[in-house]
Copies of this chain bind each other. A is one copy, B any other.
Amino acid sequence: MTTLKTKLKVAMIGQGFMGRAHSNAFLQVGRFFDSGHELRRKVICGRDRSKLETMAAQWEWEETATDWTSVIQRKDVDVVDICTPNRWHAPMAIAAAQAGKIVLCEKPLAMNLEEAQTMAAATRNVPNLVWFNYRRVPAVSLAKRLVDDGRLGNICHYRATYLQSWGPDPSRTGAWRFDPSQAGSGAMGDLLTHSLDLALWLNGSITEVSSLIQTFASGRQVDDAILLLARFANGSIATFEATRYATGCRNRNSFEIHGSKGAVRFNLEDLNRLEFFDASDPLPVQGSHNVLATGPGHPYTGHFWPPGHIIGYEHTFIATLADFLECLGKPEQFHPNFDDAVEVHRVLQAAEQSAQNRSWAAVPAASERAAVF
Contact = CB atoms under 8 A, between A and B. Distances in A.
Interface of A: 1-2, 17, 20-21, 23-24, 27, 30-31, 34, 50, 53-54, 57-59, 142, 145-146, 151-153, 156-157, 159, 161, 163-165, 168, 210-212, 214, 216, 225, 227-229, 231, 235, 237-239, 241, 243, 245-252, 258-263, 269-272, 274-279, 281-292, 294, 296-298, 304-315, 357-360
B258 A245 contact: yes
**Which of A151, A157, A284, A286 gathers most chain B CB within 10 Å?**
A284
Contacts of A271: 310
A311 B308 contact: no
A277 B288 CA distance: 11
A164 B297 contact: no
Contacts of A249: 258, 263, 308
A359 B210 CA distance: 8
Contacts of A283: 296-297
Contacts of A30: 58
Contacts of A247: 152-153, 156, 258-263, 277, 279
What are the nearest 4 A-B pairs in CB distance? A250-B308, A251-B308, A248-B277, A312-B312
Which DSSP category, helix, strand, loop or mixed, fits chain A's interface? Answer: mixed
30 contacts: A1-B50, A2-B54, A20-B305, A21-B305, A27-B31, A31-B58, A156-B243, A157-B245, A157-B246, A164-B308, A210-B358, A212-B237, A214-B237, A227-B237, A228-B229, A243-B258, A247-B258, A248-B277, A250-B307, A275-B290, A284-B298, A287-B289, A287-B291, A288-B289, A289-B289, A304-B312, A310-B310, A357-B359, A358-B360, A359-B360
Contacts of A58: 30-31, 34
Instruction: Count copies of this chain in the complex.
Output: 4
Nearest to A314: B305
A263 B246 contact: yes
B284 A142 contact: yes
**Which of A21, A156, A249, A358 gathers most chain B CB within 10 Å?**
A156
B246 A231 contact: no
Given A309-B313, A312-B314, 9 more contacts: A157-B245, A227-B229, A247-B262, A248-B258, A248-B279, A248-B287, A249-B263, A249-B308, A252-B308
Contacts of A305: 17, 20-21, 312-314
Given A227-B237, A269-B308, A305-B312, A297 B278 contact: no
Contact of A310 (B145, B286, B306, B312): B312
Nearest to A168: B260
Given A168-B260, A313-B311, A289 B294 contact: no
A162 to B, nearest CB: 11
B284 A159 contact: no
A141 to B, nearest CB: 11
A311 B272 CA distance: 11
A258 B246 contact: yes
Contacts of A313: 305, 309-311
Given A225-B157, A270-B270, A288 B17 contact: no
Nearest to A159: B241
Given A262-B247, A305-B314, A306-B17, A225 B359 contact: no
